[in-house]
Amino acid sequence: MNDLSRLAIHTATTKPWDLETAVRKYADAGVSGISVWKEALEGRDPAAAGAAIRAAGLAPVSLVRGGFFPAPDPETRAVRIRDNERLLRAAAELGAPLLVLVCGAHPEVRIAEARDQVRSGIEAVLPLAEKEGVRLAIEPLHPMYAGDRSVINTMREALDLCEGIGSPSLAVAVDVYHVWWDPELEAQIGRAGRLGALAAFHVCDWKTPLEDMLEDRGLMGEGCIDIPRIRSWVERAGFRGFAEVEIFSRRFWAMDQDEYLGRILAAFREYV
Ligand code: ZN
């Protein structure tokens, strides 16, 4: 049984709650960390939000999510870079040490070119990340999203990018939903540890059948992912951070969120 000292929750998991409600409910339940989605920050001063999070006894783990670099035209790509710079400043004000990147994809940009655009986008924003003291975490996404959300789909690719660029401010986020199937996963997690590039660990489960690509994630224990095994690899690689519960699910968003939070805690204790 896990205690809750390493449990963090993404605000998108309990999307019906605004940031203030999520902070209060998580803290009351004994959750230790929170990853803040940029939508939850809308209309708020990031510094004040960060102060409220810390005052409640929660650690701000990351700001989610930047990236989305590829686009057919240079003007849009420049806008995306400015968006990421704004998010980096917001993460610094919030006191979050990490900005998670969904690198992006575009159906009108061929995949090889999109990968080049991801690399250029990351290189463009890295100087500010270094200056603000906020790390960028590339989160490889399941290949089913390669057409429209991310052309970085495996840990190997994410780490090749990290190694190629070679900045201590660039790392990876391991989300079990995206990488659980990868026969290289254990080896690549070990590699990430050796590179000092293991920045975040996200958990949920993979339901079968999947009713929606985006919004039908399972609660830990509901699906086929061997989460404790992947967690053991991540920890063996030296990771000492939070296990962050990140579940997008219309099914769970439709239920009473207090009851849902109780189920998240129980699932974390037993299946992570
Ligand atoms: Zn994730």
Reported as a single tens digit per residue, the pLDDT across 111-157 is 999 999 999 999 999 999 999 999 999 999 999 999 999 999 999 99
151-198 tens-digit pLDDT: 999 999 999 999 999 999 999 999 999 999 999 999 999 999 999 999
Q: What is the mean pLDDT of residues 253-272?
A: 98
**Rounded to an integer, what distance in angstroms lies between the CA atom of residue 115 and that of residue 106?**
10
Distance from Cα 34 to the centre of ligand 1, integer Å: 13
Distance from Cα 66 to the centre of ligand 1, integer Å: 12
Distance from Cα 102 to the centre of ligand 1, integer Å: 9
Residue 100, pLDDT score: 98
Distance from Cα 129 to the centre of ligand 1, integer Å: 20
Distance from Cα 99 to the centre of ligand 1, integer Å: 12
Q: What is the mean pLDDT of residues 202-213?
A: 96
Task: Decide if pLDDT at 106 tops 90.
Answer: yes
Residue 118, pLDDT score: 98
* C-alpha separations of 158 from 74, 92, 140, 180, 222 in Å: 24, 23, 6, 15, 28
Distance from Cα 92 to the centre of ligand 1, integer Å: 20
Residue 210, pLDDT score: 94
Distance from Cα 127 to the centre of ligand 1, integer Å: 24
CATH hierarchy code of domain 4-271? 3.20.20.150
Distance from Cα 214 to the centre of ligand 1, integer Å: 12
* Residue whose tokens read 């929660």: 58
As a whole number, the mean pLDDT across the chain is 98
Interhelix angle 185-194/227-236, nearest 10 degrees: 30
Distance from Cα 8 to the centre of ligand 1, integer Å: 12
Instruction: Report residues near ion ligand 1: CB below 5 Å.
Output: 175, 202, 246
Distance from Cα 74 to the centre of ligand 1, integer Å: 28
Distance from Cα 140 to the centre of ligand 1, integer Å: 9
Distance from Cα 90 to the centre of ligand 1, integer Å: 19
How do beta strands 7-10 and 198-203 pair? Answer: unpaired
Distance from Cα 5 to the centre of ligand 1, integer Å: 20
Number of Cβ within 10 Å of residue 160's Cβ equals 15
Coil, strand or helix at 165: helix
Distance from Cα 202 to the centre of ligand 1, integer Å: 5
Q: What is the mean pLDDT of residues 202-220?
A: 97
Question: Above pLDDT 70, what percent of the chain?
Answer: 100
Task: Decide if pLDDT at 221 tops 90.
Answer: yes
35-90 tens-digit pLDDT: 999 999 999 999 999 999 999 999 999 999 999 999 999 999 999 999 999 999 99
Number of Cβ within 10 Å of residue 242's Cβ equals 23
Contact 72, 108 (CB under 8 A): yes
- At 1, the pLDDT band (50, 70, 90 cuts) reads confident
Residue 238, pLDDT score: 98
